[in-house]
Chains A and B, each alone.
Chain A
Amino acid sequence: MFRLSIKINQDEFVLHGTDIAAPLRGCVRQPTQRLTSGLCLEKLDLVSQGTPAQSRTLITCLQTLIERIRLGHPLYLVCQPTAESEPYQSRLYAGDFSWILGSVQPKGIGIRLELQREDYWHLPWRALALHNSHGSGVLDGLQIDNRDDNPVAQNWCWLAGEDLLGDLPAPVRLHLRHDLQSTDSMDAIFIGWGSARNTPLAVLEGEQANSQLNFGAVMNTDCHAGAYGLVQWESSAALRILSWVLPGAAFSGLAGTQLRPLVRFHNAASLRAETWLSWKLYHGSLVFQSSAQQLTVGRQLQLLPTICLPVLSNTEVPWNDLRLELLAQNRNPGSTHLALDAVFLFFSDGWRQFVALPDGKLAYGETLIDQSDQQQPYIHLVETQTNQQAYQVLGNGLWLVPGQDHVLQMLFDTGLNMQLDPGCRVQLEYQPRTRMLP
C-alpha cells in the first residue's frame, strides 16, 4: 500500500503515505472482512506520535469524519496500491475508532479505525472509445443519427470490450449533446444497450412486411428507407396485419433475451385511439405472444410491448428463421389505416428511457447527463455552466461488462413528431470497478 486517505469532497485526510500530517505516522491495513450487510469492513491501525495537543486534534478530526459518515455525507476511502498505479476509491457508510489496548506509550499511541465501505473499489471516470460510421475511437462525442437506413446514417454506436479495465460490471455515464443540425428540442429519448454485441438488429421496414389484408408499399422521402407500408382493414376482430421473416442467424445469439420494439408511424395523427397492437412470434410454432397495447394517437414514435425470444437446448446448431407478426384489434369495426414506417428492435441488456417532466425538454445546445447508478439525470447548460432537471428516467442503466463489446442504440422524438434527419452527439464514460486491489 503506497498511500491511503479519506476523501471529503476536494479535501483529503491522509492516513498513510505522502502528505501525511503529524501526529500520524502511518497505518497498517488488516485483511478486509465481508459483512452480511453486503459492505466490507476495513480495520486500519493508525500510528500517532505527537504532543497531547496534536493527539487531541487528531481525535477531534476522526470524530468529525465518523460523524459526517453517519450523517450520510459522501466520504471515500482512497487507496493507491503502488506509486505507479492510480488511486482507487470506495464509498464509506459507517465508521468507528478506539484505542488499541496497550499501545499508549510516551513515543506514540495506536488507534484502531474501523470503516464500513462499499464492497468494491473504483477508478475515476474515463471516456470510452466509440465507433460507428461517423468515426472510430471517438472519445469526446460521436454523432448518432435518428435513422439507420444507409451506411452513413446510424442510430447506434459500439465500443470494444478488450481494453476495458476492472473485473466487475461498471456504470456508464452518458453525455448526450444536442448541438447538431436541428434546433427543435428533444423530447422522449430511448436508449437500448446490448452486451456481447457490436451491431444492432436490422430495422424491420414497414414496406417490406407481408400482409393478407389490403396492403401496399408507399414511396415517401420523409420515411425511413424512403417508404412506408400502408395496411387497411375494417374488422373489430384481432387480426394479423403485418408480418416479417427474421433471419435465424441474427437471433440465435439472443436466445432467451428480450427486445424492445420502437415503431415509427407515418400517419400518427390519423391513428384510431381504439386500436390495440400486440406481437406474436413464431419459431416453427408459436413461441411468444405479448399483451396488447393501445396506440397513442398523434405520436409518431411509440414503444410497443416487449418481444421475448425463445431458447433452444442445442446452441451449436443455427436457428431457423422466425416470423414476427403484428396483430391489431379495434373495439368497434370501422375503416382503419395504419402507415407503419419502421420497427427498431432495441436490445435490453441495459435500458434508459428519458421521459420529459412537465415543461421539460433538451433544447438545442444543451447536454443531458445521465449516470447509470443514479435515478435522476440532469441537463447541463453550457452558457451559464449550471445544471437543471428536466427528465425522469426509466430502466436499470447502462452497465459495462469487462471484456465484452457493447452496442448502444438510440432514438428520440421532438414531441409528437419523430424527425429522421436530426442527430446528436454521444459521449460515454465509465468508472472501472474491481473487488480486489491489484
Chain B
Amino acid sequence: MKPQVTLRLPGLQNDSPWQVQEMDWAIPGGSHNAVISTLIQHPQQLSPEMIKDWLGNTLEIRSPAGEALWHGWIENIHLVLDRLTFRWGTQAVANRVIARFPQVSPLLNPLQPWGYSEWVQDAASCEHLGAKEQLLTLTQADANSARQAAANHMGHYVRDFQRGLVLSEARATPQLRLIASGWWQRLDWTLDGEEGGMLAHLPGGKSQQPFGLSGIERLAQRFQVGGTAFALGQICLRAALIGAPADQVRVKICADSANRPGTVLASATLPNYALHGGWQWLTWQLDTALNLTAGTVAWLVVERTGGLDAANHYALETDDGRGYPDGECRIWNGSDWVLLAQDLRFCLLAVAQSSDLIREVAEQAVAGGVLQGVQIWKDSGMLLTRWRALEQTRRDVLEEWLGLGCADGSQLSALVNPAGILEVFALPRLPELPLMLGTDGSLHLPTGVALPPALDLLGRPMLLPGSGSQDAVILRGLRWTEEKGVVPVVE
C-alpha cells in the first residue's frame, strides 16, 4: 500500500511527491502521529516565515482507494539543508494565557483555592493558528500582577516557533519533514473549565447556628435556581459537632410552600463517622440527581436523625453580613419556621453523566473548529459534578472521564473518526469479528477479508496466537511503516 498525502502548503512549489514515513494510531484518540517527507528541489525559495505559516495546517493521509487512513495537523517541521536541520514547532507557543494565584482564604470556597486573572490573548495569532491556551500558576500574586505575568508570558511565547538547529555529521539531500499529530492531541491546546453547575452562597463564616436541640430543631435555607436547569447531585455545608452527638445529619431538598419548606423532593444522610468536632466542608450526595428547572425556588433543610439534645448537637456556619440575595434562612422552633437574620453558607453542585460531559466538551471543540461532531454510542451512567476549575486541558479531562468507565463495569474509549466526529464507545468494538495476531506480528481477520483502515481496527478484540477468545486483548494501538505495514502496538 502506498498512502497518499493530501496537504496544502501555501508557497511551496515542489514536484517531488510526499512520502509517508510512518503513521500511528491509539485509543483514546484515533490518529496519533505521522511523519511525511519530500525532497526539495528549490530550497532557496523557502523562508522561515513561510514555513512557520504551515504549522497547524491540516494533513490527511489516504489509502490508494481514497479512504481516510490518518488525519491531523502539522505540529513540527524539519528543513534539512546539507548538514543543517532547522526545526520549528508549536509546542512552546502560547497566544492565550491566564494566570492563577492562591485565594486569600481557601476556607471561603470549598472547591476553588485559586483566584484567576483575566485572559490575555493575541488576536492575530489566535485567528491564524488557532487559540493555544496556557495556564500560569503563581505562588504569590494578586489579580493585577497575575494579569501582568500572563501578558508578559504571552508576549514572550506567542511567536516561539523556533525549536532548534542541529548540525549533522553526514550531508543530506535538501528535504522537508513534517511531523503531524491527530485532532485528539489538538484538544490539548484548550483549557477546560465549567463555571456553571454551582449554586452557592460562600461569604461569611464568622457566625454559626446550632441545630438539633430544643427550640432550634432544624435549619432551612431557601434558594433559587438560575436561568438554566440544574440537576442537583451534591450539597455542601460547613459544619461541626457540638459535644458528641451519635446520630446522623440529614439534608432534604423541599419544594417551596408559601415561603416555607414543603414537599420533600430528595434527601441524603451523612453517617456520624464523617462528622467531627472541627469545622469542615461536608458533602451530602443524592442517590439520584434531582432535576430542578430554571428559576425553581426550593428549600435546603438540615436536621438530625436522633432526638434533641442541648449538650450534643450540631452547628452550621452562616453569614450574618450582606447575606444571600435570592433566599432566606429559617429555624424550626418546634411549632413554626422562624426567620433568621443570617444565611447558611452552602454550595449546591449539579451533576451529569460523564458521557454527557464528554459531549459538552466535544461540542465546545466543534464550535472551535477542532472537531466536526460528536457521537456518544454508550451512556456511561457515571455521575460527576458539572462544575470544574480551570486547570486541565480538554484532552486531560476527556481521558480522565473515559478512564472512569461505565457504571455497568464496561470500559469506555473514544476516537476521532475520518469525518472528524468524536465517537465514544464501549470496549471492545465489533466483538463479533475479532482480529487475529499472527506469530510474525501480522494482523488479519479470520475470513481472509482485507484489513479495514486502522481507525476501524482500534478497540477491537485481538486473539493472540495459540489462545482462545477468552484471552483476547483489546487492540489499543497500531503503527504503519512502509517496511512492515500495519502492526499492532502491544504494551
Within 8 A of A (CB), among B207-230: none
- Residue contact B432 to A287, C-beta cutoff 8 Å: no
Chain B residues, CB < 8 A from A83: none
Residues of chain A within 8 A (CB-CB) of B376 are 331
0 or 1 for each of B444-476: is its CB under 8 Å from A? (1 = yes) = 010111101001100000000000000000000
Taking the complex as formed, is B82 at the interface, i.e. its CB lies under 8 A from any CB of chain A? no
B66 touching A286, Cβ below 8 Å:
no
Inter-chain contact A309/B62, CB cutoff 8 Å:
no
Q: B65: CB under 8 A from chain A?
A: yes
Stretch at the interface among A12-20, A226-234, A289-297: A289-297
Number of interface residues of B (CB under 8 A): 29
Q: Is B407 on the interface with A (CB-CB < 8 A)? A: no
In the complex, which of the residues A255, A291, A353 has the most CB atoms of chain B within 10 Å of its own CB atom? A291
User: Interface SS of chain A: helix, strand, loop or mixed?
Assistant: strand
Bound CA span A258–B445, Å: 14
A182 at the interface (CB under 8 A from B): no
Least CB separation from A352: chain B residue: B66
B489 CB-CB contact with A under 8 Å: no
Instruction: State which of A49-57, A158-166, A195-203, A390-398 sits at the interface with chain B.
Output: A390-398
Residue of chain A at shortest CB distance from B451: A308
**Neighbouring B residues of A392 by C-beta, 8 Å:** 6
Cross-chain contact A286 with B433 (CB below 8 angstroms): yes
CB closest residue in chain B, given A284: B447
Question: Which of B6, B432, B452 contacts A308, CB < 8 Å?
Answer: B452
- Determine which of A288, A290, A293, A394 lies in contact with B66 in the assembled complex, contact meaning CB atoms within 8 Å: A394
From residue 57 to 108 of chain B, which have CB atoms closer than 8 A to chain A? 62, 64-67
The CA of A348 and the CA of B67, in the complex, are separated in Å by: 11
| B366 smallest CB distance to A (angstroms) | 13
Collect the chain A residues with CB atoms within 8 Å of residue B67's CB.
Answer: 306
Decide: A311 and B432 in contact? CB cutoff 8 A. Answer: no
- Contact A351:B456 (CB < 8 A) given known A276-B375, A286-B433, A331-B376: no
Interface positions of A from 362 to 398, Cβ below 8 Å from B? 375, 392, 394-396
Closest to B1 in A: A396
Decide if B452 touches A290 in the complex (CB within 8 Å). yes
**Residue total for A at the interface (Cβ-Cβ under 8 A):** 34
Look across to chain B and name the residue whose beta carbon is closest to the beta carbon of A399.
B64
Is A310 on the interface with B (CB-CB < 8 A)? yes
When distances are taken between beta carbons in the complex, the residues of chain B under 8 Å from A288 are: 433, 445, 447, 449
In whole angstroms, what is the CA distance A396 to B67 when docked?
10
* Inter-subunit contact A395/B65 (CB<8 Å): yes
Question: For the complex, what is the distance from the CA of A353 to the CA of B450, rounded to whole Å?
Answer: 21
Q: Hey, which chain B residues are within 8 Å of A285, CB to CB? A: 447
A394, B417: Cβ atoms under 8 Å? Answer: no
The distance from the CB of A149 to the nearest CB of chain B, in whole angstroms, is 26
Which of B421, B447, B450, B455 contacts A258, CB < 8 Å?
B450
Kindly provide the distance from the CB of B448 to the nearest chain A CB, expressed in whole angstroms: 4
Indicate if the CB atoms of A72 and B15 lie closer than 8 Å: yes
B293 touches A (CB below 8 Å): no
Tell whether, in the assembled complex, residue A294 and residue B450 are in contact, meaning their CB atoms are under 8 Å apart.
no
The docked-state distance in angstroms from the alpha carbon of A289 to that of B430 is 8
- Interface residue A71 (Cβ < 8 Å from any Cβ of B): yes
Question: In the complex the two chains form, what is the Cα distance from A293 to B375 in whole Å?
Answer: 11
Interface residues as binary, B12-47 with A (CB distance below 8 Å gives 1, 0 otherwise) = 000101000000000000000000000001100000
Determine the distance from Cα of A375 to Cα of B62 in the docked complex, in whole angstroms: 13
Interface residues, chain A, CB within 8 Å of chain B?
A: 71-72, 255-258, 260, 276, 283, 285-291, 293-294, 306, 308-312, 331, 348, 351-353, 375, 392, 394-396
Chain B positions within 8 Å of A, measured between CB atoms, are 2, 4, 6, 15, 17, 41-42, 62, 64-67, 373, 375-376, 417, 419, 421, 430, 432-433, 445, 447-450, 452, 455-456
| 6 A-B contacts (beta carbon < 8 Å) | A256-B448, A260-B65, A286-B432, A351-B65, A392-B6, A394-B66
Kindly list 14 other residue pairs between chains A and B, CB separation below 8 angstroms, not including A283-B447, A306-B452: A71-B42, A256-B449, A258-B65, A258-B450, A286-B433, A289-B433, A291-B417, A291-B452, A351-B66, A394-B62, A394-B66, A395-B4, A395-B64, A395-B66
